[in-house]
Every structure is written in structure tokens, then in C-alpha cells.
Structure 1
Amino acid sequence: MRPESAVAERTGRHCLLLPSNRMGLYLALRHWCTPGMRLLMSPISADEILFLVLAAGLRPVIAPVSPRDGNIDASRVDLSSVDAVLTTNLYGLPDDVAAFSGKILIEDVAHALETTLDRPLGTYGQAGVFSLSKHPGAGSGGVLAVDSAADLQSLTRARDLLLEPGAMRTELVSVASSMARQAALRLDLVRPALKLMRMLGMEEEREGYRIGLQSPELAEAMRLAPALQPFDPWVRADLHTYRARRGWVARWYQSRRLAKVPGERSRRLAGVASLAELPTVADGVRSHVHQPLFRVPLLVHDRDTAIAALERRGVATGYLYDPPYDDYAPGFTEPSPDPEPARWWASNVLPVDPLYAHRALPVLQDLMPARSDRPESRIPS
């Protein structure tokens, strides 16, 4: 079954296959939002998401977050002051989608392929944008899910205008690299694989932030918004082929990896349940312990030491989003009225893959909770 057909079967929506989740977010923002609109978004997400919002010509309005789950704290937002909302569903924990009824709602469900409330996430807003590189581990690919066939046709035309030519050699390398990562995880070879990657210089170098802001150049690019191409230096980040057309090899691999997701569900749920018993687990996990989360967020003291200890046991840590957008891109966003919960969350969160909880638990059981400067008063009763 083609990847978009599998997502269509889950969501009951019309689905469009894309080279990446990030391309899908841009298409959705451009399709439903008008340049100049105020878009409410979480300050904690991948850096490139902010640049996609700017590329769409929108004004990012940074929301306060809940320390329970790192998502938008809808109880502390004046929704009358914004035109649209972009959810994050961080690590698979669901945003309060019901609170955003009546607004243009774009759901980033990259982390939430398997999260379900009364129906699957990705079916509440005008669009749900999925990632094939997260739960399925396919290395690349995204799916845009919408209700209307007319919207699908329009989005397909917009996608085709933005696609760049693909290359079979690049595609084969991408698929082979993803297969190697999956094998390293399965065979408990993460530690030697990381060492080899570093020896060969395969990790992308960076100084400071994951994507350098380059404020003067970014301000110049914003003069050309809405347009995606001027923002390529920021959006492509660690996926330089985010707009490249994929061929049959990538589609075959995406379908193969996506078909494995249901078979991993029970193992993922077992990992969530075991990690939810730790004193360091984020409170929001305990409210969603029956969701097969992408990652289980813990909130720990001395996170860097914990990451190093996990790596020695062959457990790699990723998906850390620090600092929040308020601190990362001042001047390009409308700052949160209360940035402290986001700063606290982003500096202390340790996301753990529930599929490999058994490898991580010997380290995690000894971790201390994050310091008591936790903004308890911000948690809704």
C-alpha cells in the first residue's frame, strides 16, 4: 500500500505524499492562511518550523506552554487576538485541539502518527501534516491530510511547483542510511555506529544553535515572503533534499516502514507504561499512558550527564528543542507573555524512545527530577 493510502485509511481524509513534513506544513500554511495573519504556535519545536511560518508571510505569535506536556497552554491564550493556530503535539502528547475550534487549525502531527483522542490527531484541523521519518523511521517523507478533494487538487499543483528534481543515487544513499540506523537500533549497535559517524565526519557541524539565525540575511528573505525558496538556507537544515522529488525506491521503503508501525504498537505501549512510572516523567504522560507516544518526555536534573550515560549504554537522544523561539529569534516573533515555563521545559526535557525503554531504564531509574524552580503555578488545576 502506498504511504499516502495508509494514512488516508487511518484518517479517512484525502492525502498527498510529500518529500518531507516541513514541505507539507508550508503548503498548508500558504493554502489556508493569508500573509500578515497572526499564527499562534508553541515556542518548543524544530527550528525549521519557525522559518516555514515566516516563509508563509505570517506573524508568529508565541504561546505560553504548559509544564505538563510542553504544548500550548490554551487556558492562558487570548484566541481572539490570533487568526490561526499551529499545533505541535510534542513527542506525541496531544495539544488541546478542542480549544482551537473556530480558528484555522494546522496540525503538525509529525510526532503523533498514532495518537488518538476521540479520533486520530490530524483530523481536527483544516490539515494534518504527518512525518514518515518519525514513527515509521523511513528517513524522509511526509503526508498532508485534508478533508476536501478540491483542496487536495490545489495542494497537489502547489506541491508540484515547489518540487526539485530528485537523484537516484541520493535516494539510494538515504534509504541505505536509514536501513543502517534501523539495524543499529535493533542489534544494539548504536554506540559503535555513533562513534563511526563521528570519525567519518557524518554528523553535521554547527556552532551554537542547530540552525544559525543570521538575522540580516533572514530579514532580507522576509522581504520576499511569502515564498519558500529564499528561506531554503534555514528550512533545509539537516534535510537538504526536503523538496526533492522521491522515486520508487523511497516510496517502496516508506511503505515498508509504515507497514511495520502497527506491529510495534504493543512494544511502544509497554515502554510508555514503564517510563510513566518514573518520578521524572512529565505529568502529561500519566494522562496519556495508553497512547503509543513517539517519545516519552522526562524532566531531569543535569540532562547532559544523563545523555552521556545513555549513550554509553547504546541509547541515542534526539529531538531536543532548546532554546524556545522567544530566545532564539527575538524580533522575528511576538514573544510569549510568560516564557519561563518554556525555558524550564526546553532546558530539562529528556525524550526517551519507548521502543528501547528497557535499555534506558538502568540509567533513568537513578536520575533526579529537574530542579524545584519548576513553574508549578502555571499548571492549570
Structure 2
Amino acid sequence: MATRTGRHCLAVPSNRLGLYLALRHWCIPGQRLLMSPISADEILFLVLAAGLRPVIAPLSPLDGNIDADAVDLDTVDAVLTTNLYGLPDRVAAFAGKTLVEDVAHAMETTVGGRPLGTFGVAGVFSMSKHAGAGSGGVVAVESEADLHSLEAARDLLLRPYRPVAEAVSVLTSVARHTAVRLDLVRPALWVMRALGMEEEREGLRIAPRPEELAEAMKRVPDLPPFDSWVRADLRDYRTRRGPLSRRYQVRRLRALPGRRARRIAGVRALAELPTVAKGVLDHLDQPLFRVPLLVADRDEAIAALERRGVATGYLYDPPYDDYLPGFVEPPADPGVARWWGRHALPVDPLQAHRALPVVRELTPAPPPPSRAAGPRSAPRSPLPPS
């Protein structure tokens, strides 16, 4: 990863722990952090754990990232990008701000030939997305001094190594890849449901529990009080990894170049659909993690894809300001985020050949709600001062 980014790199057990470390290192509790309303739920909780005030940005209907033209950057101290499904945020627009890049979805995305994760003070990668290693992350930074500080902070938060749990994690990841390769996704899903292993898609993925959360926030910027929210489906998110995980991650990373051409071919095939998010058309040369389609009836589409042996994940609905009101500063206009969260259907470009018979027939989503042009400042959050 150091070779890929040209930066100093720190291995962490998960992308989410890496993001917390970066936010704690470069931001001061009480500062205002601009972030997208559409991302994994646990990201919002680790931002709160870092003692920061989440300022929810308006969303671009083109790519589901921050609409940089509709925000007043003078009102925030730092920015956390999402690079949703591998589509790049407009990193150049955030120059002059402390920028932390969440590149979990964008390990192989470049802007002007330069890898994402090298524009901000830190880029935080995931080994479980593009590489498919099941767990693990990397924090890429420019300064060796920052690397050593982050390493010391990481070591204070790591839990002891658990060899059995590590073996289970690696074997589970291997089983998932084998199921996809052998077209066994449908029976694999059935087994997972029968054993209660499948993550719930109906309702909220992580129960907010606002009263408990308010108590945890009295202890910011301490991470352990937030464990029950941040860990979600990755209970070992801050457990020390051993040699088995490291070897598996290296093996999965080395396989990435061999899948690049297939991934790009899948992106281009899906980009021909009338339902594709318009931002994809500007990145047909990028090996995106997922290709977002915007469809009228997403639930029916998910069921139809599953019947074809294509599993759907990485759905982010509701937006943060609807999910956790009172703990975030909402955008002036939340309409586009609600529209995107309701209609976005992410499709793995490596599974495009299986998905196309279904997604070719899907009805496009209605147009996004209109929004007045120009940057606007959202009202102040009801959060008490830090």
C-alpha cells in the first residue's frame, strides 16, 4: 500500500478504527466536520466518538457524494469524504480544509492520475472491499512523524490477538469468494439466514439508542464507550490481527491487478443502462467498487437479483439527519439525500454479466427533487457545546 500511494502506511484492524485515529489526530473535539449523509452507520458514531460535530452536507444527485457547490466551507473546520462506491469526491474543492479521505470504496480510483487517499492529511483504506480480505485497513499519511503518533494511538486501543476469531474471519471470507465463483450465492444466503448470520436489511442496521448515546457522549473523545455502535457487524474492529490475516490480505491485494480489466468492463456495460447514476459516465476508466443504479422499485430489484445469484449490499438509508436527529447538524435541503438513499441500487461490476438480465428491465427512479443553486449554511445543531 505504501508503494501504491507513495505514503507512509499504518496497518489497522479495520477502516473504521483507522478513521477514528485520523479524526482524533488531526481534529480537535468540538470542531465542525462536514460529511456526507450517505455512508455506513458506524461512521457517524465514530465521528461522534471523536468529539466532533457532524455537519451534514447536501448531496449531489450525480454521484451520491458531497455537493461541493452547495456548501459554505467557511462554516466548517474539516471535511470527511466518502467517495461512494468508488466515485471520487471533488477533493480539489476542499483545499485549505483539514481533509480526511475515507477511501474504503475507492482503493483503485484515481483523480488526474493520482490515487485517492493521497489528497488529504490521511487516506483510510479498507482491505475488505476491493481486495475482499474480510477485514483490515490501512491509514496512509504523508509525514513519518504522524505515522508514529498514529501507531502509538492505535496500540493503546487494540484488543489482544484472538487466533480462533482470526481464522474464522479468513475462512468466512474464503467461503464467500468460493460461493460467488461457483455460483452458490443463493444456497449460501439460505444457509446464512437459517443460522441467523445475515445482516438485517429491513429497518435500522444499528439501533441508535439516543439516551444511551447521550451518556456515551459525556466521555468523548474516548472510543470504547461507543463500541456497541461502531463495531456493528465487525465485532473485532479493533482486535489485533496476526500473521494469517496479514498473509491473506497481501494475497488478496496482489490479485487486484488481475481483476482490473474485468471490473472496468463491468462498469462500462452497466453504464449503458438508462438507470445508471450520471456521475458514473465521467469515470468509465475507473475500476469502481460498485456501479450505482437509480431505480423506481429497489426492493423488487434486490429480490430479482438474488434469484439470479447476485447479492446486494452497501445500502445506506435513511440519511444521517433522519437516522440520528438531534446529534447532527442537518442540511438546509435533505431532499436529494432521501431520494438517493431510497433509490440507489449498487451493482458489483464483477457480477455485471449475472445482473444485466435483471437490471436491463428496471424502471428508472423519478427525477431528484429540485434544489436552489448556490451554497447555503444549515441551521445550527441542537447539540450542546462540547
TM beyond 0.5:
yes
Residues 1:201 and 2:208 are matched in the alignment: no
Q: Compared with structure 1, are the counterparts of its residues 379 and 296 closer, same or farther at alpha carbon in structure 2 (3 Å cutoff)?
A: farther
Residues 1:264 and 2:266 are matched in the alignment: no
* Among candidates 68, 89, 98, match of residue 95 of structure 1: 89
Amino acid at match of 1:252: R
* Among candidates 247, 259, 274, match of residue 242 of structure 2: 247
| Cα shift readout 1:59-92 (whole Å, capped 9, x = no counterpart) | 0000001000000000010000000000000000
Farther-moved stretch of structure 1 (203-212 vs 181-190) = 203-212
Name the SS of the counterpart of 2:101 in structure 1: strand
Instruction: For residue 379 of structure 1, report the CA deviation from its aligned partner.
Output: 8.4
Q: Are the aligned partners of 1:313 and 1:360 in contact in 2 as well (CA < 8 Å)?
A: yes
Alignment partner, residue 24 of structure 1: 18
Amino acid at match of 2:77: D
Instruction: For residue 187 of structure 1, report the CA deviation from its aligned partner.
Output: 1.1
Alignment partner, residue 216 of structure 2: 221
Q: Are the aligned partners of 1:66 and 1:379 in contact in 2 as well (CA < 8 Å)?
A: no
Give the alignment of 1:121-270 within 5 angstroms. 121-204=116-199, 208-270=203-265
Name the SS of the counterpart of 1:304 in structure 2: helix
Instruction: For residue 208 of structure 1, report the CA deviation from its aligned partner.
Output: 2.3
Q: 2:48 & 2:117 partners in 1: Cα distance? A: 22
Q: 2:90 & 2:306 partners in 1: Cα distance? A: 34
Q: Compared with structure 1, are the counterparts of its residues 107 and 192 closer, same or farther at alpha carbon in structure 2 (3 Å cutoff)?
A: same
Amino acid at match of 1:342: A
Alignment partner, residue 70 of structure 2: 76
| Cα shift readout 1:232-286 (whole Å, capped 9, x = no counterpart) | 0100000000000000001010111111111100000000000000000000000
* Among candidates 299, 322, 344, match of residue 304 of structure 1: 299
Residues 1:358 and 2:353 are matched in the alignment: yes
Q: 2:370 & 2:269 partners in 1: Cα distance? A: 25
Alignment partner, residue 35 of structure 1: 29
Alignment partner, residue 8 of structure 2: 14
Residues 1:111 and 2:105 are matched in the alignment: yes
Q: How many residues align?
A: 373
Q: 2:180 & 2:227 partners in 1: Cα distance? A: 31
Name the SS of the counterpart of 1:223 in structure 2: helix
Q: 1:331 & 1:196 partners in 2: Cα distance? A: 39
| Cα shift readout 1:122-159 (whole Å, capped 9, x = no counterpart) | 00000000000000000000000000000000000000
Q: 1:16 & 1:80 partners in 2: Cα distance? A: 31
Q: 2:58 & 2:73 partners in 1: Cα distance? A: 12
TM-score if structure 1 supplies the norm length? 0.96
Q: Compared with structure 1, are the counterparts of its residues 181 and 309 closer, same or farther at alpha carbon in structure 2 (3 Å cutoff)?
A: same
Instruction: For residue 376 of structure 1, report the CA deviation from its aligned partner.
Output: 4.8
Divergent runs of 4+, >3 A: 204-207, 376-380
Q: 2:282 & 2:201 partners in 1: Cα distance? A: 37
Q: 1:152 & 1:97 partners in 2: Cα distance? A: 22
| Cα shift readout 1:94-122 (whole Å, capped 9, x = no counterpart) | 00000000000000000000000121000
Q: 1:325 & 1:361 partners in 2: Cα distance? A: 31
Q: 1:159 & 1:286 partners in 2: Cα distance? A: 39
Q: 2:16 & 2:178 partners in 1: Cα distance? A: 26
Name the SS of the counterpart of 1:343 in structure 2: helix
Amino acid at match of 1:48: E
Name the SS of the counterpart of 1:182 in structure 2: helix
Name the SS of the counterpart of 2:64 in structure 1: coil
TM-score if structure 2 supplies the norm length? 0.95
Which ranges of structure 2 fall in alignment gaps of 5 or more residues? Answer: 375-386
Alignment partner, residue 4 of structure 1: none
Q: 1:347 & 1:210 partners in 2: Cα distance? A: 15
Amino acid at match of 2:41: D
Residues 1:279 and 2:274 are matched in the alignment: yes
Alignment partner, residue 60 of structure 1: 54
| Cα shift readout 1:179-209 (whole Å, capped 9, x = no counterpart) | 0000011111101100111112222458721
Q: Are the aligned partners of 1:272 and 1:354 in contact in 2 as well (CA < 8 Å)?
A: yes
RMSD of the TM alignment (CA)? 1.2
Q: Are the aligned partners of 1:315 and 1:359 in contact in 2 as well (CA < 8 Å)?
A: yes
Q: 1:377 & 1:240 partners in 2: Cα distance? A: 40
Alignment partner, residue 3 of structure 1: none
Q: 2:200 & 2:351 partners in 1: Cα distance? A: 27
Which ranges of structure 1 fall in alignment gaps of 5 or more residues? Answer: 1-6
Q: Compared with structure 1, are the counterparts of its residues 41 and 150 closer, same or farther at alpha carbon in structure 2 (3 Å cutoff)?
A: same
Amino acid at match of 1:216: E
